[in-house]
Amino acid sequence: MKLAQSYRMRLRRKRAQVRAFRKHFALRPVADRTRRIRPGEILLFSTFRDEYIRLPYFLKYYRELGVSHFLMVDNDSSDGGRGFLAEQEDVSLWTTKASYKGARFGVDWLNWLQRKYAHGHWTLVVDPDELFVYPFCDTRSIRALTDWLDVSQVRSFGAMLLDMYPKGRIDAVPYQMGQDPLEIAAWFDPGNYTIEKNHLYGNLWIQGGPRARVFFPDNPRRAPALNKIPLVKWNKRYTYVSSTHALLPRGLNLTYDEWGGEKASGVLLHAKFLDTFTRKAEEELQRRQHYAGSVEYRAYAENLRNEPELWCKWSEKYINWRQLEILGLMSKGNWA
């Protein structure tokens, strides 16, 4: 039985690799600077569509954390973001007009690029609206973290998605290019998350936060998954199976301790709920390129039309990683 399941997982992994191979034909290189990648460098992979306004801060944030090279896939943007990225010396850029949904929400494209360029590197897979926070990130670079993970013989590092939102209407303060989005979306839900274990892949399935509280109070099962494993010491045999929520082989999903202790973990601050969101939600509703028929966006659009406020009396204002650690949203584990 166990053997059969292992074999099934192997098949799934192979299938994901074949998919990645098939889908990569849709990728057209715009600026390929991958020859500049040196051994041991930390790489970042991301796909985006019409996110030009966020890109300058995104690059700045991750450069400061110590990311050496960005490998980005542009999904048919029309806002000039592509041109901007093509000029950056540490960015390699591909573009495609193919369906985001057809590439399993971009996973296939990135799986391909990771297989090709990331073997042996620590890789970070994040969206342009996700800011990675880990223990001691204010004083230690990502390299310190990955060196420590290497010494500890850990291959993957979990960072749950934490939805950030502004106080008041989410479209009240317009976001300016280059600005830290957390200046506007500074608030989060500190303690309403639910966790279940996914016995198939062994990862945890986390839901909750403002989206469950405001958009799905009557149908929590449909609330989006918040568990993510964005930082992995990549090997070309690895593959993401469903966004960055789960990986194969399954051992990579064990980023949590089951015997009472705490492993180290981080948080992806999800600065999605800015003024840009309302427009995006309407647009995505038309495109239907998101998970489960964009049910998420349908719920958002309905709610936001009436009352675009996620903030509540018990929302917490973001200060730093130590605050998240004390609240129990992330952990230092035994890193000191």
Is the Cβ of residue 176 or residue 192 nearer to other proteins in the bound state?
192
Binder among 43, 73, 149, 264 for other proteins (CB under 8 A): 264
Q: How far is the CB of 193 from other proteins (least distance, A)?
A: 7
What is the Cα–Cα distance from 188 to 310, expressed in whole angstroms?
A: 9
- Which listed range, 115-123, 134-142, 243-251, 288-296, lies at the site for other proteins (CB under 8 A)? 134-142
| Binding residue count for other proteins, defined by CB under 8 A | 60
CA angle in degrees (0–180, nearest 5) for 57-61-66: 145
Q: How far is the CB of 301 from other proteins (least distance, A)?
A: 20
Q: How far is the CB of 330 from other proteins (least distance, A)?
A: 7
Helix (H) / strand (E) element for 217: namely none
Segments in 70-141 forming alpha helices (H): 81-86, 107-117
Which residue from 150, 124, 155 is spatially nearest to 235, judged by alpha carbons?
A: 155
What is the Cα–Cα distance from 55 to 114, expressed in whole angstroms?
A: 21
- Which listed range, 74-82, 107-115, 175-183, 249-257, lies at the site for other proteins (CB under 8 A)? 249-257
177 burial class (0-12, 13-18, 19+ CB within 10 angstroms)? exposed
Is the Cβ of residue 107 or residue 162 nearer to other proteins in the bound state?
162
- Which listed range, 90-98, 124-132, 193-201, 285-293, lies at the site for other proteins (CB under 8 A)? 193-201
- Which listed range, 31-39, 75-83, 85-93, 322-330, lies at the site for other proteins (CB under 8 A)? 322-330
Is the Cβ of residue 23 or residue 211 nearer to other proteins in the bound state?
211
- Which three-class secondary structure state does DSSP give residue 237? coil
Residue 334 found at the interface with other proteins (CB under 8 A): yes
Residue 336 found at the interface with other proteins (CB under 8 A): yes
Structure tokens at 313: 């009396």
- Which listed range, 115-123, 196-204, 242-250, 278-286, lies at the site for other proteins (CB under 8 A)? 196-204
Residue appearing with tokens 């970070």: 124
Following DSSP, what letter does each residue of 14-29 receive, concatenated? HHHHHHHHHHGGG-EE
96 burial class (0-12, 13-18, 19+ CB within 10 angstroms)? buried
Residue 64 found at the interface with other proteins (CB under 8 A): no
Question: Contact residues for other proteins (CB under 8 A)?
Answer: 136, 139-141, 143-144, 147-148, 151-152, 158-160, 189-197, 204, 206-207, 210, 212-213, 216-221, 227, 255-265, 312-316, 328-336
